[in-house]
């Protein structure tokens, strides 16, 4: 005769049916097979997710670069109106560096995942390899286009109007 004792959440199961004095206490929990199965599923999910993290990082860097270019252009426009002096937005496409005015300390470096192409008036460029868009205090500018290409090839066109100096953004596919 097998005797079972149930107390709280524990069940005593005899090891040997004939020997009542030797019993092992079993508690609820997970088996080794269940834990292994969960670990395998988690590993597969991580293996799928990790490669996509790089693409997410590149996408965030690209979006940050677009924001940086638009912010710099709008800042140059506001600074010109505030000071009453012409202010240049200086861009070094090969080095992926952009800044307001001739101050080298205020230059921002864009991420490596983007590429820049700039169309601007050559007369206001400060040096070879640099492009500039000049904003005037009365609201106009020399105008120009800044193409920012992302890691997937698609990009954004930032246009600065020459008449009003307005900064607009157009997504390119």
77-112 core/surface letters (b: 16 or more CB in 10 A; e: else) = bebbbeeeebbbbbbbbeebbbbbbeeeeebeebbe
Fold of the domain built from segment(s) 40-172: minor pseudopilin epsh fold (3.55.40)
* Cβ neighbours of residue 58 closer than 8 Å, sequence gap 6 or more: 113, 150, 151
| pLDDT computed for residue 7 by the predictor | 46
| pLDDT computed for residue 20 by the predictor | 55
Q: Is the backbone of residue 27 left (phi > 0), alpha (psi -120 to 50) or beta?
A: beta
Q: Where in the chain is the domain with CATH 3.55.40.10?
A: 40-172
* Cβ neighbours of residue 136 closer than 8 Å, sequence gap 6 or more: 80, 86, 165
* Cβ neighbours of residue 8 closer than 8 Å, sequence gap 6 or more: none
Residues linked to residue 101 through DSSP beta bridges, in sequence order: none
Q: What is the pTM of this model?
A: 0.71
Per-residue confidence in pLDDT tens, the chain, 173 aa = 445 444 444 555 555 555 555 556 667 888 999 999 999 999 998 888 787 777 788 889 999 999 999 999 999 999 999 999 999 999 999 999 999 986 777 899 999 999 999 999 999 999 999 999 999 999 999 999 999 999 888 899 999 999 999 999 999 87
3-state secondary structure of 95: coil
| pLDDT computed for residue 63 by the predictor | 93
Cα–Cα distance for residue pair 27/147, rounded to 1 Å:
66
């Amino acid at each position: 005769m097998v005797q079972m004792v149930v107390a709280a959440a524990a069940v005593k199961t005899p090891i040997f049916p004939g020997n009542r004095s030797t019993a092992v206490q079993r508690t609820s929990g997970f088996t080794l097979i269940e834990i292994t199965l969960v670990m395998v599923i988690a590993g597969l999910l991580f293996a799928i997710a990790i490669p996509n993290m790089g693409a997410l990082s590149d996408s965030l860097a690209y979006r940050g670069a677009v924001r940086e270019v638009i912010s710099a252009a709008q800042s140059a426009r506001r600074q010109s109106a505030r000071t009453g002096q012409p202010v240049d937005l200086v861009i070094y496409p090969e080095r992926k560096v952009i800044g307001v005015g001739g101050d080298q300390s205020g230059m921002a470096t864009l991420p490596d995942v983007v590429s820049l192409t700039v169309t601007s008036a050559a007369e206001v460029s400060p040096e070879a390899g640099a492009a500039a868009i000049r904003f005037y205090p009365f609201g106009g500018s020399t105008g120009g286009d800044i193409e920012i290409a992302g890691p997937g090839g698609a990009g954004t066109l930032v246009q600065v109007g020459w008449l009003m100096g307005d900064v607009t953004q157009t997504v390119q596919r």
